[in-house]
Each structure stands twice: as structure tokens, then as C-alpha cells.
């Protein structure tokens, strides 16, 4: 590995990926003398969550995490989310020369992520190191069993485009990619991982040295795990330490509904067993070329709704971050007619059985009747479970837009024309 002075480290997925970038960097530090003088870490911040006490920058989609940053999930204030926990570990900051943790908002889709990265490259970074834990960043096009491909898909689109931008701008910035903990996230079978790795030219495989990451292990089990347990991180560490864990493992998808404003949300679980191949245990992969990664989750999109309409179909019923989530329409469409009105993504994934999916669609019907949300997108096959007074408009991929509101016809035109902010 070359000697780099200033590095931009991208956590390409969600969950604890920003924290787990440290695990790989400690390994590279000991194994390849990776010792930059300046490291900035970048995390992707979901736009369906609210953040407070972020330090603003000159770019409206880029903020800095601080020791007082907070995240709001529903109405619950979360102080110990991964990026803040990492920011407050001054020992790791000092050892690796980490200077900043940037948060990139997903509000403007993959296009916004690309523009944010271009802005950050005004600084003279000589390396962009992009890191994913689990493997869905490199997901093969045949992999429809993913759980959370949205952030990875945004980043994949942005990084492919960024590579061209760097070349055209004659910037002296190298790009290096890494995946590790393959299969620990429950999103890719061994067969899908093999097919994904086959598409990475000159990918190199290395084995973690457990002695190199002892400080990260202490950090995770001593601080992070208490408030932000991650099976992906936990299994990854156990595999590096050659400690046993359950295999196959029971994983589950989640879907939240709220049929009545005055009642608690309901949670549905889609359980499934996931097997891991030991040949991936304790290994990490380095590569420079992502041009052949071509899955259905990487698209040019200006917001989550546009991405959703390119990804979700009744045929595949992909599990992703937007299922069971709500968007404020005023933030994503060019119209003043939908101020304070909301859209619910009512498409439970293939992880849920048919009876569960029917119960969910009935809940969504009640959410519209009881004005918990104003609009929803659901699968056409369950139209018979919707009330007669619910208006129904077919979109594409056997999806339908539903609402009690007469403005549904205006919203349909906006969606079909792609009149997004």
C-alpha cells in the first residue's frame, strides 16, 4: 500500500459501518503501515430520521458530528448513535489521526450523495477508502434477499460517478474499496457472495490478525454494544477471533404500522434462517475497480421515492430501509399543495409470509381511514383488502397509490412526470 497523507474514509452502509471502518483501519495500520496524517470519516444519515446539534458546513447536505449530536427515532431521542459514540472516543481519534466525522444527508438521493462527495474533494485527499461490512455494497444482480441496500446503492452510484469525475478533473486521488464480514448481515448467501466477488477484477483477500484489532474489540464490547448492538459487528469480531457463533442463524425483517394515532405502533417480524460459509470468516477484501458491480439498488435518484419506484416491485418484494417508513411530501416534490402531508411505504418484503402481508395491508387501510398518514404505496395484489372509500391508482411494477384524499390524482401526475425537488 502506498503512503497516504490525507484520507477520506467512506462508511458505505448504515448500521455500525462508520464505527467498523476503524476495525479495518487498525488492521491496515499494522499490516500495511497505513498511517495517514489526517483522516476524515464519512457516514450516510437517513433522511427519514431527524438529527440535532450537528455542526453545519457550507454545503447544505454535509454536517459534522459533534460530542452533543443527537438522533430522533420516532419520538425517542437517541444520544448514543454510532457516529457520536465514535466521535467521543478520543483514543482512537488520536491513534488513527481522525480529524472529523462528516454526515451526508440522504435527502437528495444518490445525486445528492455524489454532489456532497464532489464538494468534499475540494480538499486535497490523496485516497478515498470506501468500506462496507456484510457485502451488500457488492451485491450481485441476482441477489433479491438483501435487507438494507438503499445506502449501499446510493454510495455505489455516487462512487462510480465520482471515479469518472476524478479522472476528468485530473485529481491525484486514488480510490480503494474494501468489504469484510461477508454474510454476517444476513443479506447474501455464500453463492451470491461468490458471484459478487467474481465481478471484482484483481480483488485481493487477506486474513485479519486478531492482535491488530484488540483496541477496536475493547471499544465495541466496552462502549458501543451497550446501546447499539450489531449482529453484523458481533459476528465479524467472533469470526476474526475464531470464536463460535450460531450458524445457520435466525435473522428477521421488521415492518412497523400505526393503525391509530392514539395507539402504539405495531411491529411485524419476518423470520428466516441464514447460513454463512466459513471460507469468508475473518477475511477482508481490497479492490480498486467497481465498474462491473451492476445490481438493482444502484440508481440515479433525487430522493428516496424516486429510488423506491426504481427498486420495488410486486414480483421481487425487496426488503429495504423505506419499507414501513413515512416521508413528508413537501420535502421531495415540487408542489405547494402537499404541505405537511405524508406518504407511507406500505410494501412488506418477501421476508414476511402472505398472512402477515395481508394483516399489514389492513393496518395501512386503517392508517388512511384514521388519518395517521395521507397517502400510501402498496402492492396491487392486495387491493381487495382496501375499503371502498379508498381511492386507488396504479403506478408501475404492480404498485398502487392509495388515499382518501382527492389530491391523489395530482400526486399521481407529479410522480409519473418525476417532478421531484
251-283 residue pLDDT tens:
999 999 999 999 999 999 999 999 999 999 999
How far is it, in rounded angstroms, from Cα 187 to Cα 408? 35
* Helical (H) or strand (E) element with 399: strand 399-403
Residue 131 grid cell: 468500506
* Residues 61, 116 contacting (CB under 8 angstroms): yes
**By three-state DSSP, how is residue 61 classified?**
coil
* Helical (H) or strand (E) element with 266: strand 266-274
Q: What is the pTM of this model?
A: 0.96
* Helical (H) or strand (E) element with 73: strand 70-73
Instruction: Give residue 49's pLDDT.
Output: 87
The alpha carbon torsion through 407, 410, 416, 420 (nearest 10 deg) reads -90
Contacts of 14 (CB under 8 A, 6+ apart): 44, 46, 148, 151, 321
* Helical (H) or strand (E) element with 62: strand 62-64
How far is it, in rounded angstroms, from Cα 113 to Cα 45? 10
Walk along the chain (421 residues) and give the pLDDT tens digit of each residue: 899 999 999 999 988 999 999 999 999 999 999 999 999 999 999 998 889 999 999 999 999 999 999 998 777 787 789 999 999 999 999 999 999 999 999 999 999 999 999 999 999 999 999 999 999 999 999 999 999 999 999 999 999 999 999 999 999 999 999 999 999 999 999 999 999 999 999 999 999 999 999 999 999 999 999 888 899 999 999 999 999 999 999 999 999 999 999 999 999 999 999 999 999 999 999 999 999 999 999 999 999 999 999 999 999 999 999 999 999 999 899 888 999 999 999 999 999 999 999 999 999 999 999 999 999 999 999 999 999 999 999 999 999 999 999 999 999 999 999 999 8
How far is it, in rounded angstroms, from Cα 324 to Cα 17? 22
* Sign of the dihedral through C-alpha 151, 152, 155, 156: negative
Contacts of 139 (CB under 8 A, 6+ apart): 146, 149, 152, 187, 188, 192, 196, 293, 295, 297
Domain extents in the chain: 6-242+281-287, 304-417
* Residues 22, 92 contacting (CB under 8 angstroms): yes
Amino acid at each position: 500500500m502506498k503512503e497516504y497523507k490525507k484520507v477520506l474514509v467512506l462508511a458505505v452502509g448504515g448500521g455500525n459501518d462508520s464505527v467498523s471502518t476503524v476495525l479495518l483501519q487498525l488492521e491496515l495500520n499494522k499490516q500495511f503501515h497505513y498511517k495517514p496524517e489526517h483522516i476524515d470519516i464519512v457516514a450516510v444519515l437517513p433522511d427519514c430520521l431527524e438529527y440535532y446539534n450537528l455542526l453545519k458546513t457550507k454545503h447544505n447536505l454535509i454536517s459534522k458530528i459533534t460530542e452533543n449530536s443527537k438522533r430522533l427515532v420516532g419520538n425517542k431521542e437517541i444520544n448514543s448513535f454510532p457516529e457520536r459514540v465514535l466521535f467521543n472516543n478520543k483514543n482512537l481519534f488520536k491513534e488513527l489521526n481522525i480529524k472529523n466525522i462528516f454526515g451526508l444527508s440522504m435527502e437528495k438521493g444518490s445525486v445528492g450523495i455524489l454532489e456532497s462527495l464532489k464538494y468534499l474533494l475540494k480538499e486535497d485527499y490523496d485516497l478515498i477508502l470506501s468500506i462496507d461490512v456484510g457485502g451488500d455494497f457488492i451485491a450481485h444482480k441476482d441477489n433479491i434477499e438483501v435487507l438494507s441496500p438503499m445506502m449501499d446503492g446510493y454510495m455505489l452510484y455516487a462512487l462510480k460517478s465520482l471515479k469518472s469525475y476524478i479522472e476528468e478533473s485530473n485529481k491525484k486521488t486514488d480510490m480503494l474499496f474494501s468489504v469484510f464480514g461477508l454474510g454476517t448481515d444476513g443479506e447474501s448467501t455464500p453463492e451470491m457472495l461468490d458471484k459478487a466477488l467474481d465481478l471484482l477484477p484483481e480483488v485481493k483477500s487477506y486474513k485479519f490478525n486478531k492482535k491488530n484489532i484488540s483496541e477496536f474489540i475493547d471499544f465495541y464490547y466496552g462502549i458501543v454494544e451497550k446501546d447499539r448492538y450489531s449482529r453484523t459487528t458481533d459476528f465479524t469480531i467472533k469470526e476474526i477471533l475464531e470464536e463460535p457463533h450460531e450458524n445457520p442463524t435466525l435473522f428477521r425483517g421488521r415492518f412497523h404500522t400505526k393503525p391509530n394515532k392514539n395507539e402504539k405502533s405495531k411491529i411485524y417480524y419476518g423470520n428466516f434462517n441464514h447460513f454463512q460459509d466459513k471460507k469468508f470468516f475473518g477475511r477482508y477484501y481490497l479492490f480498486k475497480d467497481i465498474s462491473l458491480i451492476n445490481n438493482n439498488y444502484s440508481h440515479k435518484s433525487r430522493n428516496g421515492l424516486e429510488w423506491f419506484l426504481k427498486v420495488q416491485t410486486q414480483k421481487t418484494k425487496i426488503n429495504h430501509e423505506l419499507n414501513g417508513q413515512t416521508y413528508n411530501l413537501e420535502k421531495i416534490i415540487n408542489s405547494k399543495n402537499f404541505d405537511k402531508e405524508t406518504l407511507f411505504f406500505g410494501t412488506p418484503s418477501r421476508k414476511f409470509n402472505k398472512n402477515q402481508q395481508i394483516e399489514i395491508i389492513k393496518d395501512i387501510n386503517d392508517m388512511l381511514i384514521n388519518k395517521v398518514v395521507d397517502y400510501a404505496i402498496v402492492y396491487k395484489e392486495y387491493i381487495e383488502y382496501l375499503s371502498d372509500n379508498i381511492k386507488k391508482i396504479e403506478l408501475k411494477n404492480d404498485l398502487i397509490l392509495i388515499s382518501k384524499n382527492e389530491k391523489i390524482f395530482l400526486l399521481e401526475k407529479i410522480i409519473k412526470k418525476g417532478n421531484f425537488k
